[in-house]
Structure 1
Amino acid sequence: MSRTHQEHEEHRDLGDREKAVLDKIRRGLVYTETEASFQAPQRRPDLVFAYNHTPPDQPERRRELLVAALGSVGERTVLLPPFHAGFGSNVHIGDDFFGNVNLTFVDDVDIRIGDGVMIAPSVTLTTTGHPVHPSRRADFGRFSEPIVIEDKVWIGSNVVVLPGVRIGYGSVIGAGSVVSRDIPPMVVAVGVPCRVVRAITDEDLTTRTAAED
């Protein structure tokens, strides 16, 4: 076998191995750091660092860096620095988003955030977990499942959203909650683990108002 042909075969095998690992990740199976090492070029730590150190009087530069750092960014987006992201490229944010300080994206796979979402300080959205048995955590063994946050959701301070969770339209997640399962639309949910405590109704239109009509 010629050297050129051998190199071609090696590149083809590498492509096949990458596809196999990506399929494993998509299925929520355990994969290792070594297996996923080919994804390293998708990480954008320099852009995240630059964003976090850009002065507040340079909003256009911040916007430019955010668009470059994340997978997609909508219009009228506010994300207060610092924020943190494992990749950045797997984060997708809709229009009219507000994210307060110390928002952490563990985005080994997609995190998709809809329009009009508000996130309070020190929230973690993590798509990745690790097996319980220590022998399966060798070489940083892990599994990843995407997170979806639908339109108009409000997430309180110090919330952790775990892999595979979908939070439905308009729902409110109380401060300090750990969200380990899907939350339906238009509810208030709180706790560890996070549970629905009530529906959001028209009566909520009259609460916390400055004056009566």
Structure 2
Amino acid sequence: MSEFEKMMSGKEYNPTDEELRKKSSKAKNLIREYNNIPAENTNLRNEYLKKILGKCEKNVRINQPFFVDYGSNIEIGKNSIINMNCTFLDTNRIIIGENAVIAPDVKIYTAFHPIKVSERFKKGENGKEYLVTAALPVTIGDNVWIGGGTIILPGVKVGNNCVIGARSVVTKSIPDNSVAFGNPCKVVRKNC
């Protein structure tokens, strides 16, 4: 099993693997170019999004700057808007549904590391130490509004028709039709 296959299946992987570094470097170079495209040049911006993202439906807008780890593990549904300064660390899949509104400074993380210090670093096949990493997907449903400055952690699913309040830290999945906020983020009422 390749390190990429391990990464995508949620198993521990070596992030310094040459194949992974090449994929990540390619994405970072493309996203740097994307971030320098004039805002009014929507055609060129859309062309770059198709190169960077795994799937990008029609009428998606991502305001610059935007940051990714691989880009190819991100899927965004139609009519979704991602505002400026968002970071999507897609070491596993990030799936965003249709009509999503993601405010500025939202961070979506899929990677995590061992809690125990003694387990955090290992030696690779080349003898060099690396940071032990695993990753779980994040899914955001249709018609979701994520408030500014929110952080969404690995393995979280935000259901359809949800509102997540600004500056929340979403550590657990949120069911459909919920309004939730806080650190840790909790459901405060159903969104009728």
Using structure 1 for the length normalisation, give the TM-score. Answer: 0.81
Looking at structure 2, the residues matched to 180 and 40 of structure 1 have their Cα atoms a distance apart, in angstroms, of 28
Is 1:105–2:88 an aligned residue pair? yes
Higher share in strand:
2
Is 1:189–2:180 an aligned residue pair? yes
Larger RCO (CA under 8 A, 6+ residues apart): 2
Cα distance, 1:23–1:88 mapped onto 2, change above 3 Å: closer
Is 1:150–2:162 an aligned residue pair? no
Looking at structure 1, the residues matched to 178 and 43 of structure 2 have their Cα atoms a distance apart, in angstroms, of 36
Say which of 19, 22, 31 aligns to 2:13.
Answer: 31
Which residue number in structure 2 is paired with residue 174 of structure 1?
Answer: 165
Say which of 50, 69, 72 aligns to 1:67.
Answer: 50
- Corresponding pairs, count: 182
Which residue number in structure 2 is paired with residue 122 of structure 1?
Answer: 105
Is 1:198–2:189 an aligned residue pair? yes
Structure ID, larger Rg: 1
Counterpart secondary structure, 2:187: strand
Letter in 2 for 1:164: G
Contact 2:50 2:56 in 1 (8 A): yes
Is 1:56–2:39 an aligned residue pair? yes
Looking at structure 2, the residues matched to 131 and 186 of structure 1 have their Cα atoms a distance apart, in angstroms, of 33
Which residue number in structure 1 is paired with residue 155 of structure 2?
Answer: 164
Letter in 2 for 1:172: V
- Which region of structure 1 is more displaced relative to structure 2, 187-196 or 131-140? 131-140
Using structure 2 for the length normalisation, give the TM-score. Answer: 0.90
Which residue number in structure 1 is paired with residue 127 of structure 2?
Answer: none
Counterpart secondary structure, 1:49: helix
Say which of 64, 72, 89 aligns to 1:89.
Answer: 72
**Where does structure 1 differ by over 3 angstroms across 4 or more consecutive aligned residues?**
21-27
- Which region of structure 1 is more displaced relative to structure 2, 128-137 or 94-103? 128-137
Unaligned segments of structure 2, at least 5 residues? 122-129
Looking at structure 2, the residues matched to 37 and 167 of structure 1 have their Cα atoms a distance apart, in angstroms, of 33
Counterpart secondary structure, 2:46: helix
Contact 2:7 2:91 in 1 (8 A): no
What RMSD in Å do the two structures reach over aligned CA positions?
Answer: 1.4
Counterpart secondary structure, 2:47: helix
Tell me the CA shift for residue 143 of structure 1. Answer: 1.3
Higher share in helix:
1
Which residue number in structure 2 is paired with residue 207 of structure 1?
Answer: none
Tell me the CA shift for residue 180 of structure 1. Answer: 0.8
> Deviations 1:115-161 (Å, cap 9, x if unpaired)?
00000010000001111112222111111000110100000011000
